[in-house]
Chain A
Amino acid sequence: MKKLLFAAMATTALSLSMSASAADIKIGILLGFTGPIESLTPDMAAGAELAMKEVSTSGLLLNGSTLTPVRGDSTCADAAAAGAAAERMITADKVSAIMGADCSTVTTAVLQNVALPNGTVMISPSATTPALSDIEDNGVFFRTAPSDARQGQVLAQVMIDRGVKSAALTYTKSDYGKGLADSIQSNFEALGGKVTISASHEDGKGDYSAEVAALSQAGGDVLIVAGYLDQGGKGIIQSSLDAGAFETFVLPDGMVGDSLPAAIGADLNGSYGTLPQSDSPGAATFDGMAEKAGFKNGPYAATSYDAAALIALAMQAAKSSDSNVFKSHVFAVANQPGEKIYPGELSKGLKILQSGGSIDYVGASDVELIGPGESAGRFAEIVIENQKISTVSYR
């Protein structure tokens, strides 16, 4: 931290001497450094700060301005604490934009109570709830993580492509499970499929014979299990196989992991599913960059890098660090047309924008913003063969 501060100060001093209009732009990093996802956030913050450092050292942003990160604790779970942290960032630290928040609940609260009234741009790397897609945001909210609704769309298409006509659906009793299940059902039905039953199951129980009995009677070509692989989802699949109720299972991201085929065995072969994953060359580049910078490309580290990069690029395109001005440029730098920009190439992007050109930021997570300002998201279609998970294609 000390080192980073020193570096930031040094670059600030350097840039100040270079140009009269250069400034030190502060960016908030609002992540749950304590709480349920505290194991993920250090890498996420490191990812975002890596992008900021890259921009600062290039000296190309807005006549040599620099970016300084200001960390705040979103706690992931406590909306009041997250709101207070965001408020402090904006009023006391005078941040120009916020990279965050992380979990869906706190992100919604911060957006509605702090970012929206202050008109501050906020780009979340990891909030996935479909509810954030149609929230009133006045154009200040974006996310580099795909909505769970998008996964439902992809999964429904995968099923249709495999000739599935009807399916039974069970989901874990949580916001994640319910949101995903609703999205799968509506998309599948829109494509002409039929969901025979949509029933929840509770995690942490031993006996799922009642759930499986009801699902089996509703029938269907396959059983969609929108749950967790180490929890009820596994129990449901095991009971279904034992009773001969279903033979093929459709597995969304929460169910994809090596421990599932290991626990169930050969009976799971032929089941398939989806997982948010990108095949873009940017992902591999970012892996190497993270390693060199001394952190792990863990879950959502890549989307954090991309969120911070998008903020800087949009500022450059708008020639302003004012949220109200650059918010309308986020889409343009993230999408076609323009030169493709990969991680580690931020200076190239800044240069093109400076000379009035246009770019298409691809980044580490294959960023493509759609509709309400969220990542379209790349998903890998996986199938279980010989008790191993193998990737079929990317969608």
Chain B
Amino acid sequence: MMDILNALIILGNYIIIPALTYGSQLALGALGVTLIYGILRFSNFAHTELMAFGTTITIFLTWALQNAGVSIAPLPTALIALPFGILATVTLVLATDHLTFRHYRKVKAKPLTFMIVSIGLMFFIGGLVRLIIGSKDQIFSDGARFIFSARAFKKFTGFDEGLALKTSQGITIIITIIAVTALFAFLNRTRIGTAMRAYSDNENLALLSGINPERVVMITWMLTAVLATLAGVLYGLDKSFKPFIYMQLLLPIFASAIVGGLGSPLGAIAGGYLIAFSEVAITFAYKKFFGYLLPDALAPESLWQILNTEYKFAVSFVILVIVLLIRPQGIFKGKSI
């Protein structure tokens, strides 16, 4: 019995908790991408730079608060700064939409044009972020590091294996649950949420029934900004903030959104967790795990690793290729691309 529990703790500590955290961060990012795709009908490549921008503003405010001696320990100070980061990001997206995308909506440009514009914005916002905070690593987490550490867990329970839960991991999972619940309530229960879904389903029909398209677009951008800042700040709290790393998140986030089904919010969440879990679970070495489960005589000598960690990134691509081949519209029927 002890052995089975030890084996489960290994899975919990090295696969379930890290993947749940990483998956939540990807899911929040993918939700923003999928909302823009579903309603504005283009792939927004500037999304991870929006995450970086929101995080940058939050970091500056966090530093200011820390200097002023404000603290909500054991929780990180960044949580107080977060709403202001969101506000700044909302302002930025509304301004960029007003200055760029609005014009192309007016001339009824093709989705491809929108996508190219978003690439331009990606470079612009990326440059802005580096101008403000520089290209170096920034650490801004404070408060208690662990809810419980591996050592404390071992001491408390007497198990051979440790289980650690970082504060940032706990916060990520809780905030993701709250944000996703609120988003679905908004989309399904409110008038404007219904209008957004109608606009996404059939633009012309929605316009005929008197929906104001500019209002739908504005709300969509605001939701995207909120989700992007949340994803960015949570990722930064859990790992660290570096503009280059945020830029590289574009790939797993798009993979998550596409695997789940572009345009489907539920799909974005499922995609995020699927990508995160497969990256960790497929490259995991199951030696100790089976060592606990199997009788001593059968205990594995080798690592029992399906794939070397070098191929971590290949995993998300393989999943992406398989999904696109077998079910191009994604797991949850999104818009086919």
Bound form: Cα–Cα A209–B15 in Å: 8
Chain B residues closer than 8 Å to A199, beta-carbon distance: 308-310
- A235-B239, A244-B151 known; A263+B139 contact, CB < 8 A: yes
Interface pick from A19-27, A107-115, A157-165, A216-224: A216-224
Contact across chains for A242 and B164 when beta carbons are under 8 A apart: yes
Indicate if A133 sits at the interface (CB-CB under 8 A). Answer: no
- A244-B151, A263-B139 known; A217+B286 contact, CB < 8 A: yes
Within 8 A of B (CB), among A187-213: 197, 199-201, 204-207, 209-213
Chain A residues closer than 8 Å to B287, beta-carbon distance: 217-218
Nearest opposing residue in chain B for A230, CB measure:
B137
Within 8 A of A (CB), among B15-46: 15, 18-19, 22
Q: A165 to chain B: closest CB distance in Å?
A: 17
- A201-B309, A205-B248, A206-B249 known; A217+B139 contact, CB < 8 A: no
Bound form: Cα–Cα A197–B164 in Å: 23
Within 8 A of B (CB), among A253-288: 263
Nearest opposing residue in chain A for B15, CB measure:
A213
Bound form: Cα–Cα A210–B308 in Å: 10
Kindly identify which residue among A214, A242, A244 contacts B285, using a CB–CB cutoff of 8 Å.
A214
Q: Mark B1-27, 1 if CB is under 8 A from A, else 0.
A: 000000000100111001100100000
Interface pick from B220-228, B276-284, B326-334: B276-284
Contact across chains for A205 and B245 when beta carbons are under 8 A apart: yes
Contact across chains for B284 and A210 when beta carbons are under 8 A apart: yes
Chain A residues closer than 8 Å to B283, beta-carbon distance: 210-211, 213-214
Indicate if B242 sits at the interface (CB-CB under 8 A). Answer: yes
- A201-B309, A206-B249, A230-B137 known; A214+B303 contact, CB < 8 A: yes
Indicate if B240 sits at the interface (CB-CB under 8 A). Answer: yes
Contact across chains for A197 and B303 when beta carbons are under 8 A apart: yes
The dominant DSSP class at the B interface is helix
Indicate if A370 sits at the interface (CB-CB under 8 A). Answer: no
Q: A124 to chain B: closest CB distance in Å?
A: 31
- A210-B312, A244-B13 known; A219+B239 contact, CB < 8 A: no
Kindly identify which residue among B150, B239, B280 contacts A206, using a CB–CB cutoff of 8 Å.
B239
Q: Mark A138-158, 1 if CB is under 8 A from B, else 0.
A: 000000000000000000000
Interface residues on B, range: 35 or more
Q: B334 to chain A: closest CB distance in Å?
A: 25
Chain A residues closer than 8 Å to B248, beta-carbon distance: 204-206
Bound form: Cα–Cα A79–B151 in Å: 52
Count CB-based A-B contacts (< 8 Å). Answer: 91
- A206-B235, A209-B18, A219-B288 known; A243+B164 contact, CB < 8 A: yes
Contact across chains for B14 and A213 when beta carbons are under 8 A apart: yes
Contact across chains for B22 and A207 when beta carbons are under 8 A apart: yes
Nearest opposing residue in chain B for A244, CB measure:
B150
Contact across chains for A204 and B288 when beta carbons are under 8 A apart: no
Nearest opposing residue in chain B for A207, CB measure:
B22
Chain A residues closer than 8 Å to B66, beta-carbon distance: none
Indicate if B317 sits at the interface (CB-CB under 8 A). Answer: no
Bound form: Cα–Cα A320–B142 in Å: 67
Bound form: Cα–Cα A200–B310 in Å: 6
Indicate if B212 sits at the interface (CB-CB under 8 A). Answer: no
- A200-B310, A242-B164, A243-B164 known; A217+B242 contact, CB < 8 A: no
Within 8 A of A (CB), among B222-272: 235, 239-240, 242, 244-246, 248-249
Indicate if B91 sits at the interface (CB-CB under 8 A). Answer: no
Indicate if B100 sits at the interface (CB-CB under 8 A). Answer: no
Kindly identify which residue among A201, A206, A218, A230 contacts B303, using a CB–CB cutoff of 8 Å.
A218
Within 8 A of A (CB), among B275-323: 279-280, 283-289, 303, 305, 308-310, 312
**Among A207, A216, A217, which residue has the most Cβ atoms of chain B within 10 A?**
A207
Bound form: Cα–Cα A244–B285 in Å: 16
Bound form: Cα–Cα A219–B304 in Å: 13
Q: A47 to chain B: closest CB distance in Å?
A: 31
Kindly identify which residue among A200, A213, A219, A245 contacts B280, using a CB–CB cutoff of 8 Å.
A213
Kindly identify which residue among B13, B22, B242, B308 contacts A243, using a CB–CB cutoff of 8 Å.
B13
Nearest opposing residue in chain A for B22, CB measure:
A207
Indicate if B54 sits at the interface (CB-CB under 8 A). Answer: no
Chain A residues closer than 8 Å to B240, beta-carbon distance: 206, 235
Nearest opposing residue in chain A for B19, CB measure:
A209
Bound form: Cα–Cα A244–B309 in Å: 19
Within 8 A of A (CB), among B127-169: 137, 139, 145, 149-151, 154, 162, 164, 166
Nearest opposing residue in chain A for B287, CB measure:
A217
Q: A209-B22, A217-B14, A230-B137 are in contact. List 16 more A-B contacts (CB 8 A).
A: A173-B310, A201-B309, A204-B248, A206-B246, A209-B14, A209-B280, A211-B309, A213-B283, A214-B308, A218-B303, A235-B239, A242-B164, A242-B166, A243-B150, A244-B149, A244-B154
Residues of B within 8 A of A (CB): 10, 13-15, 18-19, 22, 137, 139, 145, 149-151, 154, 162, 164, 166, 235, 239-240, 242, 244-246, 248-249, 279-280, 283-289, 303, 305, 308-310, 312
A-B pairs, 5 with minimum CB distance: A244-B150, A209-B18, A217-B285, A213-B14, A206-B245
Q: Can you list 27 A-B pairs with a CB-CB distance of less than 8 A?
A: A200-B310, A201-B309, A204-B248, A206-B240, A206-B242, A206-B248, A206-B249, A209-B18, A209-B280, A210-B18, A210-B280, A210-B284, A210-B312, A211-B309, A213-B18, A214-B303, A214-B308, A214-B309, A217-B10, A217-B14, A217-B288, A230-B137, A242-B166, A243-B164, A244-B13, A244-B150, A244-B151
